[in-house]
Structure formats: structure tokens, C-alpha cells
A = this chain, B = another copy of it.
Amino acid sequence: MKLRVGILGATGAVGQKFVRLLEGHPWFELTALAASERSAGKSYGEAAHWIESTPLPASVAQMEVRLCEPGLDCDLVFSGLDSSVAGPVEKAFAAAGYPVISNAKNHRMDDDVPLLIPEVNPEHLALIERQNHASSGFIVTNPNCATVGLTMALKPLQDAFGIDAVQVTTMQALSGAGYPGVASLDAVANVIPFIGGEEDKLETEPLRLLAPLASNNGEPAVIPLEIPISAQCNRVPVLEGHMECVSVKLHGSPSMERVRQALADFVWPSEVAALPSAPVRCLDLLEDETAPQPRRDVHRGAGMTVSIGRLRSCPVFDVRFVVLSHNTIRGAAGGAILNAELLASRGLLLHRDRPS
């Protein structure tokens, strides 16, 4: 029997991506859609300005949109809420016993909330124990859309050598700003060298994700690493796919051959590789010197594979390369669904009684 899932913030861009990716999911069945007062009471087809490139499933179009309040008919909720409202709403759902799998930034840095990429730090799930919500409710988060690609590329390097410093410049897709997001007069044939709050996330979230699980007075804890990261973030006229030019200083100045091996041989946990949304390869190391490109490579692994290209030595640091990840799949809804799948496979998601 499938787990029944709800979506908070269902009408927004991330909410729509959840709807699309959950269609035909082997483990999850969409049973509840919730959004703001403006949408509540309407059918989803009426409330949502559908922007996906495949038609809205008719069965979803007819579902009624509810308010974002506990009582939704589902076993867990995915949160695509805007950060202006996500904080207390997610807390309320967790308190009411719902597992909350959130894409919002609000609780990412909370001491007791896992900030999770299954291939990178599945052991951080232990933090859930520290959340004292009634009836098995809890919150799990996935990182910022630009963090995920960078972190997945850094993970094998941190494991193999240790990282001393990182410089990263991003070229991020328009869909990262949601809808309506960036005005077309600012986007067409232009670059905007600023994305509010983004650089700070890129400079801090990887340090939490890459940190080992520690113990603090007998309780699981994550103490962020202290690696200096400098991020410069740009918006470019691309629809999907965040590109990042990365330069990394490594311990012990390893040879390029060893670096290449570390990236090519990256092994992620078999429990993750077996999840329905896990791609065949979570990292693709591309040899073509013009790769990766958003138009050509963003769909690798159905948007869940992170592509790395142009791997070469750096005259200033040790190694540099380009990373591409799909910002609304791997970097948002798809990443959250993979998190939920990991939770499900560990037995952390339970069938709840249906509201009477």
C-alpha cells in the first residue's frame, strides 16, 4: 500500500514540480494539496497557473486545494512553501505528527534538523531523534538548489584528500527564482550578478552537509566544518540547470590523476542507490571539453545526476572544474523526494490514521 503524501505550497513552482514528479511514483500517492487562502477551496486546476512542460494530470486538476493546516489526509507532507511562511507551518505539521520533507530554507540550519543529501550524509538522519514532536512527526530538509551540485562534487574530494578552500562562481537558471520570478526584461540577453541570500547559503550549507556526525553529551550532533568558501552568484538566461565554476585547494596537493580517480570512483551507499528516484550514476564525469551544458546535460539521470566537466589543474589552487545540476529536480523537488524515499526505506514513514 502506497504512502499517502500531501504538498504544502502546492500551487507554486516547486509545488508543481512535486506534482509532476510524484505522478506514477511507486511508493507515494498524492492525496492532499495545500496552499494559501487565495487558493484554498478551489480545484487545483483552477488555483494553479501550471507552468510545467507536460500537461497537468486531469486527476490532480480536480483535487481540492486545502489550507496549510494539520488535518490533511496524508501520511507525510512535502513542503514547497515560500520561506516567508514555511517556518511555523512546518513546525505545526511536525508537532501534529506529520513527517515534513521540506525544500524551504527555514529549518536547514536548526541543530536537530537533518540537512540531507542521501548520497552525501545519510547518517545525519540520526538528528531526527532529537526532535521531540508528538506521534513521530519530524522535519527533514534538502539544501539550496545551488548547494547540492557543489556539495556532491566536493564530497569525494573531502573524503579522499580534505579541502582547504573553495572558490565558486555560479551561473543559475531562471527557474531558480520561482514564478513569476525574474522579469523578462532583466533576463533576456542579460546576466544579473546578484541573487539575494544565495552566496551565504553556498558558503555555509556545504560545511554542514560535509561534516561528520558527532556526539554531543550522548546526543547526535553536526558541527559544521570550517573551510573558507567564496561564492559569487549570477542569474543567466537559462531555463533549467545551475552551472558552477569551482576551484578547490586540497590537502597535500594530490596529482590530477588521483583527483580524477576520486571523482570517477565515488561510491555512494547502496541503500541510496536502490531508491526509486536515485539515478544510475549520481556523478557523471564528462570528458568532452565543451561539457557540461544545461541544454545537453541537465536531463542526465532524469535530472538527478550531477555532471562534472572540464576537470583540470588550477594555477592558483589545485584543481578546477565545472558542475551542472538540475535546480528544480535534484536541487528541489526531486531531492526532497529522494530524501523521503530514504526515510521510507528505513521505515521512518508510517501509515497514519485517516482524519475522521
Using a CB–CB cutoff of 8 Å, the interface residues on chain A facing chain B are 50-55, 165-167, 169, 171, 174-175, 179-194, 203, 228-230, 232, 234, 236-239, 243, 245, 247, 289-296, 298-300, 309-310, 314-317, 320, 322
| Shortest Cβ-Cβ A-B pairs, 7 listed | A180-B183, A184-B187, A169-B169, A232-B245, A230-B316, A190-B295, A169-B245
* Contact between A237 and B189, CB atoms less than 8 A apart: yes
B185 near A51: Cβ-Cβ < 8 Å: yes
* CB atoms of B191 and A294 under 8 A apart: yes
Q: A171-B236, A237-B236, A316-B229 are in contact. Are A185 and B180 (CB under 8 A)?
A: yes
Of the listed residues A51, A289, A293, A310, the one surrounded by the most CB atoms of chain B closer than 10 A to its CB is A293
In this complex, the member of A167, A191, A234, A300 whose beta carbon has the largest number of chain B beta carbons within 10 angstroms is A191
Contacts of A169 in B (CB 8 A): 169, 232, 245
Chain B residues with Cβ below 8 Å from A245 are 169, 193, 232, 234
Within the complex, which residue of B179, B183, B188, B298 is in contact with A237, where a contact is CB–CB below 8 Å?
Answer: B188
Q: Which residues of B contact A187 (CB under 8 A)?
A: 184, 187-188
- Copies, count: 4
CB closest chain-B residue, reference A286: B55
Q: Besides A186-B293, A229-B316, 5 other CB < 8 A contacts?
A: A53-B296, A184-B187, A189-B239, A194-B289, A232-B245
Given A54-B299, A185-B181, A292-B193, A322 contacting B232 (CB threshold 8 A): yes
A53 CA to B303 CA in the complex, in Å? Answer: 12
State in angstroms the CA–CA spacing of A191 and B294 once bound together: 6
Say yes or no: A188 contacts B189, CB within 8 Å: yes
Contact B237 A237, beta carbon cutoff 8 Å: yes
Contact A228 B316, beta carbon cutoff 8 Å: yes
Task: Knowing A245-B232, A296-B51, A315-B203 are in contact, say whether A189-B320 is a contact too (CB < 8 A).
Answer: no
Residue of B nearest to A309 (CB): B193
